[in-house]
Chains A and B, each alone.
Chain A
Amino acid sequence: MSHELTWLLVAIPAVSAAILLLGGKATDAWGHLLGTAAPLASFVCGVVLFFQMQGLHAEERSETVHLFEWFSVGSIKVDVSLLADQLSILFVLLITGVGSLIHIYSIGYMAHDPRRRRFFGYLNLFVASMLLLVLAADYLVVFVGWEGVGLASYLLIGFWQHKNSAAVAAKKAFVVNRVGDIGLSLAVMSMWALFGSSAFTTVNAGAEGLSETWGTLLGLMLLLAACGKSAQVPLQSWLLDAMEGPTPVSALIHAATMVTAGVYLVVRSHAIYEVSEAASTAVVIVGTVTALAGAIIGCAKDDIKKALAGSTMSQIGYMMLAAGLGPAGYAFAIFHLLTHGFFKANMFLGAGSVMHGMNDDVNMRHYGGLAKYMKVTFATFAFGYLAILGIPPFSGFFSKDKIIEAAFADNTVIGLCALLGAGITAFYMTRLMLMTFFGEKRWKQDVHPHESPAVMTGPLVVLAALSLGGGALYFAGHWIVDWLEPVVGHEEHHPPVSALVMTLITLAVVAVGIVIAVLRYRRDIPSEAPARVSPATTFARRDLYGDALNEAVFMRPGQYSTRTLVWLDNRGVDGLVNGLAALFGGLSGRLRRFQTGFVRSYALSMVFGAAFVVVALLAVRLS
């Protein structure tokens, strides 16, 4: 394989970002073109690399490209190396492929924004960081990409920072992610202490020697990091607020790529999770809880983007669940990650297209009957809808079914939860479809819904095709399982009933979800959200009280304690000092009668001090 291609992958968008962000207004005219060309160029590199890799024997496909030594201190040495293997190349293709489509779409979506060039600069920064994240061969270098995507996310959520809500959401995302970073930091520190290195090769080799306690601790630290980045319970609260960012950002960062980095981290660290049953179980539980929590939140949102964000949480929960199942689930976690990348990016961009035609209104209660006005958007969105529901032959059918199967094979309760989640997914997605595209029109007089320009619908069509065809990664002879096996291993799972029965049960549950939604939402939908609703609806609307909990447990006590500390510092610590100073001030006030000011009294004290030294030294010398 070609070494240059691997580092060019990262370097191209990084250089482009630097040009766009440092070039200033001079690059305004063509900034969006350069910004789009960069991920496309990376995509070409990725495709070439992929085919080169495919031409090789399975054992030879993994290759580390050593770039330079970052630093070495004591016995620790950290290299900046890139690892191109079967796992990372799939991510490369997803990031650059879907990323390029979203860049193209953004040319149209951001056409009227005076800061479009900067938007593309940030997007390129994101792509470069995300590629570094998945290509790095050392956990500390992963951390650089990890935080780089966090920074890009911060900048893009807050892109319209003249709105207070956007600025607050951006900060929240960064800070919550930092809580996750505690986990990653501690994990790398532990690796240094345990193995004397944080390189993948060393950690993988040393993991066998881990005690179960250390295995569990490391697994939990990495899980904490994954929870932050992938918006898993209990660090989920930032993702819904992150919808303040422009919609292409929600599609690229907060649906298709960055939020799946936690799944990548867990899969990449499989050697550690194999040591600890407890840590793997924790991953499964976090995934299952989030899969349900996200789905429930998705049911109650009237904001189209927030409904989709709840759905993203939930789908990543499925991936986490699969990743926690070990070798039986790794390949399916990645498979679902890819198909979800296709259909969720498709639907987010579709939502953006709807908003574009609706004067940027996001409230689905103001939509209705849009299928007639936005035919392409509707058709492509429908492909995404069928895919996420898992209707055959759409891609989600293959990927989600496999996860539900594997979950049942592992544990019936987890399996039932996964199945229930599929039903709820069918409900909230049908609700979203009905409220947006069907029924009576509910928009106001001055709104004129219209289809988006070709530069936006083009990417939608491609993503719709991928939503349909993405399943080929699996049904073409279990390709993805075999492809990933040399990296993450594979174990066949054995569901309690045959796969066909499993599929039929799942489809039946999905059908129930659809029917309930149709029965509920085919009637007229009020333009204002009803205020008097059941406690369950309120629970879901308030994001399961996640924010309320954070506020009560962390924010308020935190604010009180900082305020108290500031007061104490001024009055207590400094007060004591000032009290002493006042005392000395009184004394020096008398001295001052002999002196004219501080400067001279200082000079005097210097003289006294010097005299003291001389006398003291002489005294010792003479003694």
Chain B
Amino acid sequence: MNIGWLTYLLLLPFVGAIATMAVPKAKGLLAKQVSLVFSLLTLALTIVIAIGYHQNGAADYAETHTWIEAFGAHFALGLDGVGIVLVVLTALLTPIVLLASWNDAQQGRWSEKSFFAWILGLEALSLGVFAATDVFLFYVLFEATLIPMYFLIGGFGGAQRSYAAVKFLLYSLLGGLLMLASVVGLYVLSARAGDPSYLLTDLIQLDISQNTERWLFLGFFFAFAVKAPMVPFHTWLPDAAAEATPGTSVLLVGVLDKIGTFGMIRFCLGLFPNASEWATPVVLVLALISVLYGALLAIGQTDIKRLIAYTSISHFGFIVMGIFALTSQGMTGSTLYMFNHGLSTAALFLVAGYLISRRGSARIADYGGVEKVAPVLAGTFLFAGLSSLSLPGLSPFISEFMVLAGTFSKHRVIAVIAVVGIVLAALYILLMYQRLMTGPVRDGVEKLKDLNFREVFAIAPLLVLIVGLGVYPKPVVDIIKPAVESTMQRVGVTDPAPEIPVTEGQK
């Protein structure tokens, strides 16, 4: 049997998780170090794969092994422009989260090392989700990611962690259940057409009747909309993010939620192109509502972590909007947005976490004048905030602008209303910064220590990438483009041509 690169990539963090657990309890530090080393090895392997992908294309990384023959299920992995971006994001965020969370798991229900092991387990499963090219395998991994996340929230969070964890689980299970119905439905269709197969390449050959396609689409879409999360299926996220440790929140919002928007591109558009086009008007309106509703709610929050969670709901609204605008700018922008949002929200959550752990409170009202006592903390927080409000020059701007412009070229009204989001984003970020960091120093803040070396070191790669990809996003955009083009072809849509084409000579 031929085992490919991607299998090793999945196994590496999995082995790391087991190794971490195997370290004796007395050597807590060693367990953490083991987990960090494995996450860095995974990152190194990912970089090797990404470079290879950039140079030689996707073909080298596709692998298919028969898994359950009776169902046509395969252990099939592969990469495309969308998948590789999210694989890199996952591999990048994991070591950062581990390092930033170094002391965050001491108050947990379970041993400290289990926190680190679960994170590696989550990484393995997430990598699998983004690389799966078999629907059955995707479904199993999709559901399996719930297990580590459930334990990370429920075991190591704040006072309400059990409530938040169960809520997260129930929502996800409900979404998953509907997807399961569609997964079974696909099997039925596939079996009728001949030998059953869950491989994506086989499924896109299927001839599906209009009604069936719409029902199957809805099953998948609902699961992804809960995951993404879109209004009105969003209320699990603020609770989960507020109760989880900052590191867990980063993985939840930065990686796990991306499965939703990733799934929309790969499965909704890929498998059910006609139904996707059919659903476009409703989805776009829901996305628009998410953009504005999430932003307005963020402005009204009194808790730092809940505020950041609501900003993400707004950002996911943009991502979904770009996907369903069905233009190459929109979809490329959305894919890039997934990556950039991972960077900016990770930075924001982690710095907020640094702040909250110092003061022991997430209430905005408990702060004031932090800039005076901890300028580096305040500066990095502002930087992360500026990237979250998509300041031109930082990486999220390009993706947000592509999404808006891509939507504008086909759906003028939606885009024009969505632009208001940029004002709301300025409000929620700067209002929070003003309340936390400026003004006279409040009681209880005066003794806050500034960031230490580990803390700065952990988030530095994020800040560097946010600037770097803001100035020079071309490599990432170029990797994404082919995947977007093939998805557009699959759906059968093209970009509207310019109304007043300008030829070279006219310039």
Contact = CB atoms under 8 A, between A and B. Distances in A.
B369 A162 contact: yes
A503 interface: no
Interface in A134-151: 140, 143-144, 146-148, 151
Interface in B272-312: 293, 296-297, 299-301
A195 B71 contact: no
Contacts of A558: 299
A543 interface: no
Interface in B457-507: 472-474, 477, 481, 495-502, 506-507
B392 to A, nearest CB: 4
Given A168-B434, A178-B423, A185-B419, A563 B472 contact: no
Contact of B481 (A73, A148, A196): A73
B248 to A, nearest CB: 17
A562 B398 contact: no
A602 B495 CA distance: 46
Nearest to A190: B408
B384 interface: no
Interface stretch (B204-212, B249-257, B424-432): B424-432
Nearest to A148: B393
B377 to A, nearest CB: 13
A563 B434 CA distance: 19
Contact of A181 (B165, B422, B500): B422
Given A71-B474, A164-B438, A562-B296, A182 B423 contact: yes
A175 interface: yes
A189 B293 contact: no
Nearest to B410: A193
B312 to A, nearest CB: 15
A73 B427 CA distance: 30
A144 B392 contact: yes
Contact of A147 (B393, B398, B416, B502): B393
A206 B502 contact: yes
Contacts of A565: 293, 296-297, 300
B333 A73 contact: yes
B261 interface: no
B329 A73 contact: yes
Nearest to B71: A617
A186 B300 contact: no
B284 to A, nearest CB: 16
B360 interface: no
A227 interface: no
A171 B167 CA distance: 36
Interface stretch (B9-17, B39-47, B99-107, B183-191): B183-191
Nearest to B369: A162
A602 B474 contact: no
A68 B328 CA distance: 22
Residue among A167, A189, A558, A581 facing the most chain B CB atoms (10 A cut-off): A189
Interface of B: 70-71, 143, 147, 150, 154, 162, 165-167, 169-170, 173, 177, 180, 183-184, 187-188, 191, 196, 231-232, 234-235, 293, 296-297, 299-301, 327-329, 332-333, 369, 371-372, 386, 391-393, 397-398, 401-402, 404-406, 408-409, 415-416, 419-420, 422-423, 426-427, 430-431, 433-434, 437-441, 472-474, 477, 481, 495-502, 506-507
21 contacts: A68-B472, A71-B473, A73-B402, A74-B328, A74-B406, A154-B430, A174-B430, A175-B426, A186-B419, A188-B405, A189-B404, A193-B408, A194-B498, A195-B502, A196-B501, A197-B502, A202-B507, A561-B296, A562-B296, A569-B297, A602-B169
A170 to B, nearest CB: 8
A479 interface: no
A566 interface: yes
A206 B184 contact: no
Interface string A59-90: 00000000011111111100000000000000
Interface in A604-622: 605-606, 609, 612-613, 616-618, 620-621
Contacts of A189: 404-405, 408-409, 415
A289 B356 CA distance: 48
Q: Interface majority SS on A: helix, strand, loop or mixed?
A: helix
A73 B332 contact: yes
Contacts of B441: 162
Contacts of A143: 392
Nearest to B189: A620
Interface residues of A, number: 75
B297 A562 contact: yes
A584 interface: yes
A598 interface: yes
A474 interface: no
A601 to B, nearest CB: 10
Contact of B297 (A74, A162, A566): A566
B343 to A, nearest CB: 17
Contact of A162 (B300, B372, B402, B506): B372
A205 B507 CA distance: 5
A574 B166 CA distance: 14
Nearest to A161: B438
A602 B148 CA distance: 12
A196 B404 CA distance: 15
Contacts of B423: 175, 178-179, 181-182
B67 to A, nearest CB: 13
Given A164-B438, A196-B498, A573-B232, A562 B191 contact: no
Given A146-B392, A561-B296, A73 B328 contact: yes
A234 interface: no
A616 B369 CA distance: 61
A185 B318 CA distance: 15
Contacts of A168: 434
A605 B393 contact: no
A74 B327 contact: yes
B334 to A, nearest CB: 11
Contact of A182 (B150, B235, B420): B420
A205 to B, nearest CB: 4
B155 to A, nearest CB: 10
B502 A562 contact: no
Given A562-B296, A563-B300, A569-B297, A182 B422 contact: yes
Contacts of A498: none
A28 to B, nearest CB: 13
A167 B434 contact: yes
A151 B391 contact: yes
A192 interface: yes
Contacts of A598: 154, 162, 165-166, 169
A185 B404 contact: yes
B69 to A, nearest CB: 11
A158 interface: yes
A206 B500 CA distance: 7
Given A193-B409, A206-B506, A569 B235 contact: yes
Contacts of A151: 386, 391
A151 B162 CA distance: 41
A605 B143 CA distance: 12
A326 B308 CA distance: 47
A508 interface: no
Contacts of B398: 70-71
Interface in A183-241: 185-186, 188-190, 192-197, 201-202, 204-206, 209-210
A244 B397 CA distance: 29
The 5 A-B residue pairs with the shortest CB-CB distance, nearest first, are A196-B498, A167-B438, A562-B300, A74-B328, A566-B300
A201 to B, nearest CB: 4
A482 B146 CA distance: 70
Contacts of A188: 401, 405
B409 A192 contact: yes
A201 B187 contact: no
Contact of B477 (A71, A147, A562): A71
Residue among B401, B415, B481 facing the most chain A CB atoms (10 A cut-off): B401
Nearest to A605: B173
A413 interface: no
B125 to A, nearest CB: 14
